[in-house]
Each structure stands twice: as C-alpha cells, then as structure tokens.
A and B are shown apart, each in its own frame.
Chain A
C-alpha cells in the first residue's frame, strides 16, 4: 500500500492520454499492482489457499497422514446423521427460496395499494439487520412447547380453547373399583336400576378446580322411581376409604351427569353444591348406565411440539423466512417501481383484471429481479448455519442439522475429524458452484 510508483506523469498532448510512452511497458502492471496487491494478498491467503488446502485435506483421514481416497465423501452419504443433514438441506433448498421469493412478490405488490407502505416495509425488512443467531433465539422463544410461555402455541391454544373449551375437571380420575374410565368419560362399572344410588367418586382433582361453592358431600338416597347419586372428591387428607362418602370430602357442584336408559335415550342433569343429583320418572326395571361425559374432563390445548425432532426443521425455516422475506420484498419492490406504468395502465384500460395484469405483465417483466432474489436465497440457504444452531435444542440438533452445521460439528466438536469436515465443506462448495457459474454468466452478459 505504501509503494510509491507515481513518477512524473507523461505530458499528454493528445486527448487519448492513458497509454504511456515506450519503455514504460511495465508501468500499467506496477500501478495496477499497487492498487490490487492488498486485495490479492488477502484473497489469496484467506480464500484461495484454504480452498485448495481443504480440497486436498478432504482425501485424507482424521489425523491427516493417510490418503483415503473418496472415503470421506462416501461417509457423508452412508452416515445416518450426515445423510439426514444433506436431506434436511435439500428440504431447505426446495422450500425456502421459492417461498421467500413468492412472499416478497406478494408483499411488494400488496404494499403498492396501501398508504403506509414505507412503514410496512420497514417492519418486515427490519429482521435482516439482526443476526440470524439472535433471530433463531427469538423464534426459539416464540415456539416454546408450553402454551403458558410459547407465543405461537399460546395463540393456537386460545383459538382452540375458545372453540372447544377445556372441561372443569381436567385431571380427574375415577376413585374406587366401582368407577371406571372409558374413552375420556368416567362412569359406573355396573348399570343401575331405579331406586339405587350412584356413587361417582373422583380423585386427582386439583384444588383450583374445586368450585368455591362446594360443600360436604352427602350420601344420596334414591326415590323409588329414580336414581340419585353424588359426584364428590373421594379423597381427604390422610387418605380415607375409596368409594365411601366420608367427612371432609367435598361434593363437586356443576358437573353434568348423564344416564342412558334401556331404550338408548340419554338424559343429563347438573350436580348440586353437595355434589348430589337425581333422575326421576325412570322405567321401573330398566338398566341405566350412569356417568360423566368426556367434555368434563377434556384438557386444555397442549401445544404443538415445534422444537421436537419432527418439526424442528420447519421451525427453523419459519424463523429464516421471517428474516429474509423483507429482503425479497425490498428488492422486488424496487424492480416493481421501475416497471413502465403506462403498460400496466394500458392493460387495465383495455379491461384486463388485476389478476391478469399481475400474471401476464407484472410477473414476466419482473422475471430478472425474481431470478436474482431466488438465486441469492439459494446460495444463502445452502450455507444456512446460525439459525439452526439457535433454534434447535441440543437434543434435536441431529434431526435439525444441515450441511454447514454438520461440517462445523464434525470438525470442531467431539471427534474433530478434519478429513471428514473438509469433505463436507467441499460438498457445500460444489453445490454452490453451478450458482457461481450462473452469476458469472450474468455478469458477462451485462458486460457486453
């Protein structure tokens, strides 16, 4: 950088001065060289040399002193964990570039119709500034399994629980041998006849689920033409005997009890504060099934296991799209702004619908921009690393792994296998080469 090659400049009489006089043939090399040297040195030492080194290293074993041919490459496609990483990366490649480009296009077109498009773009574009790693952490928080904490599951739960509210006694279990659980419902083992009493004892009821107006449970007495019963918390400190109403055991009010008669007809009633209920006017000698329906015991929505082994890749993809959709939108919006307005207007005046304008004019004219976005995303997605590392908990990193992440894990954690790690890096490189060729072709075309 300090080399001083500036000799006295040649007097330039002609309007075409750039060429120096004879005898200074080296001059262009020297001047250009002094400008280029730092860049060439840095690129040479940090990119070109390592690239060559890594390619060679990938044919040697872990220690680096035995030539193993293509064994490392074979390992990539036979080792289950590595194969999983390659397949995962294929999923990323198949899904993300197309989705990000499509979302960007949709957002870009939609923002043309609102007055606050600048604000919208800012909001959606913003995640591009934060690290993929921090974005991953943010989404790991959003996708927490527990609907108490995970935002996404909480949102789903609030919808599901509104449509199908959880029952008042979510965890209750039958107490005693006479009461059984059947497909979510709890009922008496034996059908009853009018005149008999139904003792529906329950345990494992959380204190918070006992209604405030509950009072001491009462042993029911059935009328001759009916069935009376009690639903109660068959548990008291110290245990007590199951199937028997004892002091200090509370009745459970507000529970819907159902009976089904011999004709198959169902009737229902609700329990009183002491837990009792009664059905009257029953068939004298019919057998009645008595029980509490499954609605009473239905649990609240449990949540989707976003960070479990089967969905973790999808979760990382969601986080990644959150980061990159804004990029696609901004680039495409810039392309959109450069479209000839007259053409679009002319089509509209000729009676083309908005969809036709979009499909037949906007998209074809935008094709070059869409291609740039798509290719950029393709390269990015092949190298995806940080976001997977952040989103996937340690226990499912094998299931979430992608090529770049496996390379790092193989080479720098655990086994520290530089041979295999190099082979994975080369695979990654080979995958981006076609895209590189595409880029160079595009550049060449622009030059001419």
Chain B
C-alpha cells in the first residue's frame, strides 16, 4: 500500500508537487472506489433483503418488496420471530443443529489431533503412504457414503439419531482436520519435542503437554471451520434422519410452498445464518487461517 513517493526534483515547491501527486492518485483511484462500493452493496443487499423480508407478514411479503419497509415502516413487525420461537419444530431443530455442530466439531478435532501427531512426529513404517491415503479421502464426495450408511444405520438401529449424524460428520471432517493439524504440528520446533523425549516424557505426555498447547491456534481455526461446516449441513441430515431435523432440514420441509411460507422460511433462514455469521465475525482471523492452511475441502 505504502508507495514511497520519490523526493520532488524541484526544491522550490515540493509541498505542492506532493499534493499534486496525491490528487492524481486519488483521482485515478476514484473509479476503483466506485466499482468496489457497488460490489460491496451487491454483496450486502441479499442478506439485508432476507432480513427485512423476514419482518413482513406473508400477506405483506407477497405484495411488497422488502425495500418498501423504508418508506412504510409499518410493514415491519417481529411477529414472525415471535411465532418462530413458539414453534416447537423450529426451536427443537435449533437445539438439534447445535448438538450436531458441537459434537461434529469436538469429536473430529480430538481424533484428528491424535492422528496428526502420529503423522507429524512418530516414526513408523508406511507413514507417508497412509497419509497420502488420508489426503485421497479428502475429496470423496459424501454421496459415496449416503446409500450404504443409510442401510447400515437402519440395520443397526441408529438411523435418525444425533450421534449417528455426528459420527458421519466426524468421519468426513477427519481428512481435512488431519491434513491441517499435521501440517501445523510438523512446524513445531523439533528441539522442543526432543528435549521432552530426553526428559523421559512419553509420547502421550508430549502430545498433551507440548504439541496440543502449541497447536491451539490451528485447533481453533479448525474448530471454527468445522463448526460452521456441520452447522450448515443439509444433505447428511436430510438423508440419514427423519425426525432429528437440524434447522436446514426444517426449512427444507417448508420449501414447497415458498411464497405462502415465507413468513416462516425467511426468519428461520436468517436465524440459521446468525450463529455462523457471529462466529465468522468473532473468529475471522482463525477462519482465514484455516482456509489458507487447507484450501482444499
């Protein structure tokens, strides 16, 4: 950003020169500013539109665009939100979503941290091959597992349970989690681990006392990432559960009557966005780190 301007050649009016250069720079940047302001608006408007629509009754929303709220503030009401929070289907789906997301974040992190430690710091034959396989699993589409897992879950009686959804998310979150953590763990200075080994610490102790604390930034990044990922899932819950509905599935079941159910769909969709957005804003740095480290999921 900081372009050091060369000292003005004429000593008579260096101040004026610099101001001139600055004016030129501002002017040449004006089109960029305008374009980016328009782009930013285009990116903001859909979310704002959804929120304002969620404040209108189904009747009003079928006749008016959300922008009319600005001229007719009377269109806005919180009735939809009141109704949503009194709707047991929606509230229980929010609880289900939270359970799945928490479990589907904690479990893969624990399992992946263990595996990542082995891949990064334990010597064993076939290690690299195994790791290549894990990377390979990274791109397996969930569609490959839906049908057999649907059958298996039904046969074992765990179909339609929160834990079965958590396990599914855990498995499919693992390759990325292992990949990310292993790459981070391997950057931990070797001397630290060797010093601990020389002191007679067991691998478990090294893992718990040295690697985990040092790996916290990566684990945090992964946690934000995985939480948002599982929170936003639709296809897994849609396929492997019926009564156990996360919020996305609950909204999906209303989708057939899009216009008529807009007073339920739009606030529910907005609520489903609030938690991931809050996490995103709060932990933006970690989120970006997670993305940059992997950029493959």
Complex Cα–Cα for A436 and B251 (A):
34
Scoring A residues 1 to 35 as 1 if CB is less than 8 Å from chain B, else 0, what string do you get? 10000100101100101100000000011011001
- How far is A437 from B165 in the complex, measured between Cα atoms in Å? 29
- CA distance in complex: A164, B237 (Å): 50
Of listed B125, B127, B148, B152, residue having the most chain A CB within 10 A: B148
Given contacts A32-B127, A134-B269, contact A425 B141 (CB under 8 A): yes
Q: Which of A40, A128, A133, A421 is within 8 Å of B234, CB to CB?
A: A133
Q: Does A107 contact B (CB under 8 A)?
A: yes
Q: How far is the CB of A33 from chain B (nearest CB, A)?
A: 8
Minimum Cβ distance to chain A for residue B230 (Å): 10
In whole angstroms, how far apart are the Cα atoms of A345 and B5 in the complex? Answer: 11
Interface string of A141-166 (1 = CB under 8 A from B): 11000001111001000000000000
A161 to chain B, nearest CB (A): 14
Measured between beta carbons, the chain B residues less than 8 angstroms from A119 are 40
Binds B, one of A41-49, A227-235, A359-367: A41-49
Instruction: Decide: A422 and B141 in contact? CB cutoff 8 A.
Output: no
User: B234 touching A131 by the CB < 8 A rule?
Assistant: yes
Residue on B nearest A149 in the bound complex, by CB: B65
The contact of B248 among A29, A47, A134, A322, by CB within 8 Å, is A134
Given A47-B145, A47-B171, A385-B235; A148-B64 close (CB under 8 Å): yes
Once the chains bind, are A38 and B111 in contact (CB under 8 Å)? yes
CB distance from A261 to the nearest CB of B (A): 47
Give the distance in Å from the alpha carbon of A226 to the alpha carbon of B7 in the complex: 82
Report the separation of the CA atoms of residues A236 and B178 in the bound assembly, to the nearest whole angstrom: 79
Which of B41-49, B72-80, B212-220 interfaces with chain A? B41-49
B231 within 8 A of A: yes
Bound Cα distance A129, B172 (Å): 19
Given A54-B148, A122-B284, A131-B272, is A435 in contact with B232 using a C-beta cutoff of 8 Å? no
Residues of A within 8 A of B64 (CB): 148-149
A138-B49 contact given A35-B118, A46-B172, A133-B251, CB 8 Å threshold: yes
**Across-interface contacts of A39 in B (CB, < 8 A):** 111-112, 114-115, 134, 174, 178
Name the residue in B152, B235, B280 with the highest tally of chain A Cβ atoms < 10 Å from its Cβ: B235
CB distance from A143 to the nearest CB of B (A): 10
Chain A contacts of B292 at CB under 8 A?
330-331, 334
A107-B39, A141-B49 known; A131-B273 Cβ under 8 A: yes
Distance (Å) between the CB of B256 and the closest chain A CB?
6
Q: How far is the CA of A293 from the CA of B292 in the complex (A)?
A: 62
Which of A1, A372, A407, A443 makes the CB contact (< 8 A) with B114? A1
CA distance A443 to B133 in the complex (A): 12
Q: Mark A314-350, 1 if CB is under 8 A from B, else 0.
A: 0000000010001100110010000000000100000
Pick out which of these stretches binds chain B: A167-175, A244-252, A387-395: A387-395
Residues A408 and B239 in contact in the complex (CB < 8 Å), given A43-B175, A440-B135: yes
Given contacts A54-B147, A151-B45, A412-B239, contact A28 B138 (CB under 8 A): no
Number of B interface residues at 8 Å Cβ cutoff, please give it.
Answer: 109
B36: contacting residue among A1, A54, A110, A432, CB under 8 A:
A110
Name the segment of B12-20, B84-92, B199-207 touching the other chain: B199-207
**A408 and B235: CB pair below 8 A?**
yes
Most chain A beta-carbon neighbours within 10 Å: one of B53, B123, B140, B265: B140
A389/B234 contact (C-beta < 8 A), A42-B174, A110-B32, A123-B44 known: yes
Q: Enumerate chain B residues within 8 angstroms of A42, measured Cβ to Cβ.
A: 111, 167, 170-171, 174
Bitwise, B43-63 to A at CB < 8 A (1) or not (0) is 111110110010000000111
Q: Are A57 and B277 in contact (CB under 8 A)?
A: no
A327 to B296, CA, bound (A): 12
Q: Tell me whether A6 and B203 are in contact in the complex, defined as CB-CB below 8 angstroms, given that A43-B171, A53-B148 are known contacts.
A: yes
Residues 244-297 of B at the A interface (beta carbon under 8 Å): 248, 251-252, 255-256, 258, 262, 265-266, 269, 272-273, 276-277, 279-281, 284, 287-288, 291-292, 295-297
Q: Which residues of A contact B47 (CB under 8 A)?
A: 126-127, 130, 138
- Closest CB-CB distance, B200 to chain A, in whole Å? 5
Do A130 and B115 touch across chains, with their CB atoms under 8 A apart?
A: no
**B198 lies within 8 A of chain A by Cβ:** yes
- Encoded as 1 (CB less than 8 Å from any B CB) or 0, chain A from 80 to 110 comes to 0000000000000000000000000001001
Check A386 against B235 for contact (C-beta < 8 Å): yes
Residue pairs across A and B with CB atoms within 8 Å: the count is: 298
User: Are A436 and B136 also in contact (CB < 8 A) when A9-B200, A124-B40 are?
Assistant: yes
**Is A137 interfacial (CB-CB < 8 Å)?**
yes
Are B258 and A54 neighbours in the complex by a CB distance under 8 Å?
Answer: no
User: Once the chains are docked, how many angstroms separate the CA of A444 from the CA of B131?
Assistant: 11
| Contact call A114/B65, Cβ cutoff below 8 A | no
For residue B106, CB closer than 8 A to chain A, the reply is: no
Q: CA of A366 to CA of B137 in the docked complex: distance in angstroms?
A: 28
Q: Are B63 and A134 in contact (CB under 8 A)?
A: no
Q: How far is the CA of A51 from the CA of B132 in the complex (A)?
A: 17
B122 located at the interface, meaning its Cβ lies under 8 Å from any Cβ of chain A in the complex:
yes
Query: Once the chains bind, are B141 and A383 in contact (CB under 8 Å)?
Result: yes
Interface residues of A (CB under 8 A from B): 1, 6, 9, 11-12, 15, 17-18, 28-29, 31-32, 35-36, 38-40, 42-43, 45-51, 53-54, 57, 107, 110-114, 119-120, 122-124, 126-135, 137-142, 148-151, 154, 322, 326-327, 330-331, 334, 345, 372-373, 375-376, 379, 382-383, 385-386, 389-390, 393-394, 404, 407-408, 411-412, 418, 421-422, 424-426, 428-429, 432-433, 435-436, 439-440, 443-444, 447
Task: Knowing that A32-B124, A47-B137, A148-B65 touch, tell me 7 more A-B residue pairs with CB under 8 angstroms.
Answer: A12-B198, A38-B115, A129-B287, A130-B47, A137-B50, A372-B295, A425-B143
27 inter-chain pairs at a CB distance below 8 angstroms, sorted by A residue, are A6-B203, A12-B198, A17-B198, A31-B118, A31-B122, A35-B118, A35-B122, A38-B114, A40-B115, A43-B171, A50-B144, A54-B144, A54-B147, A120-B39, A126-B43, A129-B276, A130-B47, A131-B248, A134-B251, A134-B269, A379-B296, A407-B143, A408-B239, A412-B238, A425-B146, A436-B138, A436-B139
4 cross-chain pairs, A with B, having the tightest CB-CB distances, nearest first:
A46-B171, A131-B232, A129-B280, A6-B202
